[in-house]
Structure 1
Amino acid sequence: MSTPKAPSRRGRGARAGLDLEVILGAARGIDPDALTMQGVATALGVDRKALNHHVTDRESLLELLAIDAFRRRVDLDDRDLGTTWQDACRAYAESLWRSLVDIGQWLPYFRFTNPRDLVIAEPAEVIAERMLAAGFDTVTVSRAMHLLVTICRGFAQDAVTGSRSGGHPQIEDLRAALAVERAGYPALRSLVDARVDNFGAAQFAFDLDTFLAGIERLAPRES
């Protein structure tokens, strides 16, 4: 009579049948605040250390999930970058902020983490090429592109915060403070009372138009 074999323990990394896509697939449905490496390992039925072959820690996993959500959203866009640097800036910015808003809860963790993510930056390459070809120097192009991305990311963060029930906390705090003060600050009161939507498409169009107008003033003049 043969001795029964002990249940086999799944191995680590590739030997456990894992790859990065399998790990991301198990983690996508978990809220970022509740995400742990142990929780993902449990969902996959593997030892916690098996994940380390592909993902070093929780922070790295959150970054990978954020870029994964962004990439899957951007894949839905059919971007027409037009023919000018202004066209490219506008198309890239509109796609970028909408995609960042759509990934919502993952936005705080969004950053490039791997060379394979550079495919997302292809429109930025077009912007850089066109601006350099138009005569802008490298410092101006670098600063302009940094500003454009900053506008998109900051707007997306505010839009996500402002979409929550009760409105954007900073504006609501200002409204409450003005209500207590009861006198003074008439200009601010008129703006707060107007309840302008500063988190929608109209506001972003204003931001983008202002950006383009400012950069156009820096364009090299023909002699």
Structure 2
Amino acid sequence: MNIMLLLTTAVTSQLPEANLSLWSLIVKGGWLMIPIFLLSIVGIYIICERISVLRKLSKTPKDFTEKIIHYMETGNSAAALQECKAEDSPLARILQKGIRYSHIPVPELRNSLENTASSEVAGLEKGLSLLATVAGIAPMIGFLGTVVGMVQAFYDMSLAGNNINITLLSRGIYTAMITTVAGLIVGIIAYFGYNLLVGRIEKTTDDWENSISAFLDSLYAVKK
């Protein structure tokens, strides 16, 4: 008997159960749905948490750097430091260091601020490596479920001998299909979230670089 015909018939025989609940489908996916489910929780948590952090950074006033530059140009470094402490953001901490060490040569100060910025960027990227892992491993677990399900289906066929009952194959087919779909869905969400966060972080760091350059340029002009 054609194996593909058997598998197709097995799937078709389950169509009357189209009203299965989501929980029933998850249960039919087998034990491999557990790690996929855990990965989905980890991925969604990282995405939501990082978006929340980046959203807070976007609330930094656009004229914040201009205020700091104005204070420095007028020689009011104390007010500039107070403004940075009140803002308490990564950019504020970077410029705060620049104010405190404004007496050193500008090239050395630039290197110092770039190192500080790199440290702040590392904080923004917290969890992204784990999110990338989720994006890669979730589909792999889903494909593993496909293999396990097909093995289960063939095993059930071998036990049945000549009296093959199509319904026996449903367990393996469910495991194969549901785990694959679940793994791909989790992987797609994690991959999309990763790229979204990377893009927003890059935009944030570009804004920091522009602010640092403007601050250093004004400081250089004052010293000159």
Q: TM-score range by the shorter chain?
A: under 0.3
Higher helix share: 2
Larger C-alpha radius of gyration, 1 or 2? Answer: 2
Larger RCO, structures 1/2 (Cα 8 Å, 6+ apart): 2
